[in-house]
């Protein structure tokens, strides 16, 4: 009876809850959209649960201390549906949808921080390199208790992110709790327009390169290949450190492109989900920027998602040595679906697996060589007198192997120093095998 729903919608005395319940009951009779045609048959919606939902809706409308419009209640209901699925599914309003697009494209306003919910608490996954967050000293696993005096407890992830976004030049105060500290810390930061360069490269010393990937954006694969070519202009690479520490992830295809820079063939990653289009397999191509360069990959607890795809692929294919500490363990794939009203839906649709069939979800990548973060300290009593310390010693005719600045950096970053040492050892062993 097609005319009946029309009369219900136009009846002036019909409550919104009743209309909502009638509409929900009619949903299984409506043809699904094209992308959902492959879904298995859905059971009829449970009448009792729909009636309870409508009753709750009506009671909020009548009795809540402040008046709430229907649109707000319905959007809150949709947010609730998604937030209870997993920490990464969310309903995105216009501003949130735009913010997600900006961060993927590499430019947004804020403090430069990747956050997630851990045990219901807003937790830092990683600060992005060279941003107010990283310069202020925010660290992975810091818990954000307040944003400008607003407690984060009870806020959704999107609400928290919205609070941290703002005009460039405006100030924001964060109250954080750090593991090992008894009292919370207050930090005041100044927001900036965050333009993130996802790839940075340099030579640690002649023949040994350093490649830092801070996140995976649409052009990260191209930038990695260009960086490798630049480093090779100074001579053949004898070893390369790929630094994925505190990399929160990003675009799946960018992760595949980065892994492909070091792999000539074989599977990189595959995904499995309920829908046919969630079943995907990605393999390396023959065009490879650095197929034979000895490789050490650095990871830590801030390495997540796409960073774990790269580390897992290189580990399974025995292409490089994974060094550092256990990664974050985010092995799910989110699909961003635009809605007709300009808003969006971010929905977890699949899990990804390494070439050997390992699921990273809630497990992470175990490093081949465990090296914790630290600083190399040399005490004065342990330092021996050397020729270079003698007054009037003859100068070397060769270039120093390490600049003073680089030597200090390797003392500060113990993991990086150990990665360089391992690359040198691998080269020694390779020369002996020849």
Write down the pLDDT at residue 33: 43
Q: Name the nearest CA neighbour of 250 among 286, 317, 323, 196.
A: 196
Is 98 a member of any domain?
Answer: no
Quick: pLDDT tens for 101-114.
766 666 677 998 88
Residue 346 falls in the annotated catalytic set = no
Identify whether residues 186 and 215 lie together within a single domain.
no
Identify whether residues 234 and 184 lie together within a single domain.
no
The 10 Å CB-count burial string (b at 16+, else e) for 165-203 is beeeeeebebbbbbeeeeeeeebebebbebebebbebee
pTM: 0.72
Say if residue 43's pLDDT is above 70: no
List the single range of 8-22, 115-129, 358-372, 402-416 with lowest mean pLDDT: 8-22
List, in order, residues 6 or more apart from 261 with CB less than 8 Å away. Answer: 221, 224, 225, 228, 288, 289, 290
CATH number of 181's domain: 2.30.42.10
Write down the pLDDT at residue 2: 43
Q: Which residue among 330, 332, 346, 413 is the active-site one? A: 330
Write down the pLDDT at residue 245: 96
Residue 194: beta bridge partners? Answer: 108
Strands 295-299 and 321-324: parallel
Residue 243 falls in the annotated catalytic set = no
Is 82 a member of any domain?
Answer: no
Is 243 a member of any domain?
Answer: yes
Q: What is the largest CA-CA distance in the chain?
A: 103
Which H/E stretch holds residue 420?
Answer: helix 414-433
CB 420 within 8 A of CB 241: yes
List the single range of 175-189, 256-270, 399-413 with lowest mean pLDDT: 399-413
Quick: pLDDT tens for 285-311.
999 999 999 999 999 999 999 999 999
Separation between Cα atoms, residue 250 and residue 362, nearest integer Å: 18
Identify whether residues 225 and 272 lie together within a single domain.
yes
Q: What is the DSSP string of 241-292?
A: EEE-TT---B-HHHHHHHHHTT-SSSEEEEEEESSGGG-EEEE--S--S-SS
Identify whether residues 220 and 312 lie together within a single domain.
yes
Identify whether residues 233 and 359 lie together within a single domain.
yes
Identify whether residues 153 and 229 lie together within a single domain.
no
- Of the pLDDT bands very low, low, confident and very high (cuts 50, 70, 90), residue 96 is confident
Say if residue 38's pLDDT is above 70: no
What is the span of the domain harbouring residue 247?
199-370
Identify whether residues 203 and 349 lie together within a single domain.
yes
CB 85 within 8 A of CB 348: yes
Residue 266 token pair: 């074989």
Residue 220 token pair: 């990260």
Identify whether residues 185 and 132 lie together within a single domain.
yes
- How many other CB atoms are there within 10 angstroms of residue 372's CB atom? 9
Say if residue 24's pLDDT is above 80: no
Is 431 a member of any domain?
Answer: no
Q: Which residue among 89, 99, 134, 305 is the active-site one? A: 305
Say if residue 234's pLDDT is above 90: no
Identify whether residues 325 and 191 lie together within a single domain.
no
Is 102 a member of any domain?
Answer: no
Q: Is the dihedral of CA 214, 220, 223, 224 positive or negative?
A: positive
Separation between Cα atoms, residue 232 and residue 22, nearest integer Å: 67
Say if residue 197's pLDDT is above 80: no
Mean pLDDT of 348-357: 96
Cα distance from N-terminal residue to C-terminal residue, the chain: 83
Separation between Cα atoms, residue 168 and residue 111, nearest integer Å: 9
Separation between Cα atoms, residue 136 and residue 127, nearest integer Å: 10
Is 85 a member of any domain?
Answer: no
Q: Which residue among 316, 327, 332, 413 is the active-site one? A: 316
- Of the pLDDT bands very low, low, confident and very high (cuts 50, 70, 90), residue 140 is confident
Per the structure, the count of domains in the chain is 3
- Which CA distances in Å does 397 have to 330, 388, 400? 51, 13, 9
Is 242 a member of any domain?
Answer: yes
Using a CB cutoff of 8 Å and minimum separation of 24, what contacts does 92-95 make? 92/158, 92/336, 92/343, 92/344, 92/345, 92/346, 93/343, 94/342, 94/343, 95/162
Write down the pLDDT at residue 11: 38
Q: Which of 328, 347, 370 is the last residue of a domain?
A: 370
Identify whether residues 204 and 151 lie together within a single domain.
no
Identify whether residues 244 and 267 lie together within a single domain.
yes
Q: Which of 338, 370, 402 is the last residue of a domain?
A: 370
Residue 316 falls in the annotated catalytic set = yes
Look at 111 and 181; give whichever has higher pLDDT: 111
- Of the pLDDT bands very low, low, confident and very high (cuts 50, 70, 90), residue 30 is very low
**DSSP alpha helix (H) spans, 11-156:** 16-26, 47-63, 70-83, 94-105, 132-136
Identify whether residues 214 and 300 lie together within a single domain.
yes
Residue 124: beta bridge partners? Answer: 115
């Amino acid at each position: 009876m097609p005319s009946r729903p029309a009369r219900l919608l136009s009846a002036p005395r019909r409550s919104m809850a009743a209309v909502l319940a009638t509409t929900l009951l009619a949903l299984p009779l409506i043809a699904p959209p094209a992308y959902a045609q492959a879904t298995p048959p859905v059971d009829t919606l449970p009448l009792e649960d729909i009636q309870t939902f409508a009753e709750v809706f009506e009671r909020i409308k009548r009795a809540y201390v402040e008046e709430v419009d229907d649109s707000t209640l319905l959007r809150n209901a949709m947010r609730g549906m998604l937030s209870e699925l997993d920490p990464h599914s969310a309903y995105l309003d216009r501003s949130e949808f735009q913010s997600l697009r900006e961060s993927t494209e590499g430019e947004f306003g804020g403090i430069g921080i990747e956050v997630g919910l851990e045990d219901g608490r807003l937790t830092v996954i990683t600060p992005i390199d060279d941003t107010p967050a990283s310069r202020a000293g925010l660290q992975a696993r810091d818990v954000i208790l307040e944003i400008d005096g607003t407690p984060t407890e009870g806020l959704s992830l999107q609400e928290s992110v919205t609070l941290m976004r703002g005009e460039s030049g405006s100030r924001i105060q964060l109250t954080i709790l750090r593991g090992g500290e008894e009292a919370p810390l207050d930090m005041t930061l100044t927001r900036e327009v965050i333009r993130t360069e996802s790839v940075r490269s340099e030579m640690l010393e002649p023949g040994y390169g350093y490649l830092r990937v801070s996140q995976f954006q649409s052009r990260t694969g191209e930038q990695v290949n260009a960086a490798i070519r630049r480093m090779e202009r100074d001579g053949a690479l004898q070893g390369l450190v790929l630094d994925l520490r505190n990399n929160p992830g990003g675009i799946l295809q960018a992760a595949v492109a980065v892994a492909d820079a070091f792999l000539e063939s074989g599977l990189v990653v595959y995904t499995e989900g309920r829908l046919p289009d969630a079943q995907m397999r990605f393999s390396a191509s023959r065009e490879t920027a650095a197929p034979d360069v000895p490789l050490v990959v650095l990871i830590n607890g801030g390495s997540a998602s796409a960073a774990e795809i790269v580390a897992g692929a290189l580990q399974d294919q025995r292409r490089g040595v994974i060094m550092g500490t256990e990664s974050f363990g985010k092995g799910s794939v989110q699909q961003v679906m635009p809605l007709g009203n300009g808003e969006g839906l971010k929905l977890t649709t699949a899990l990804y697996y390494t070439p050997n069939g390992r699921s990273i979800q809630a497990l992470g990548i175990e490093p081949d060589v465990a090296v914790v973060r630290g600083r190399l300290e040399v005490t004065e009593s342990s330092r021996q007198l050397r020729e270079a310390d003698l007054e009037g010693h003859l100068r070397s005719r060769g270039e120093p192997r390490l600049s003073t600045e680089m030597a200090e950096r390797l003392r500060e970053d113990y993991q990086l120093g150990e990665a360089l040492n391992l690359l040198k050892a691998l080269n020694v062993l390779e020369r002996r095998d020849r």
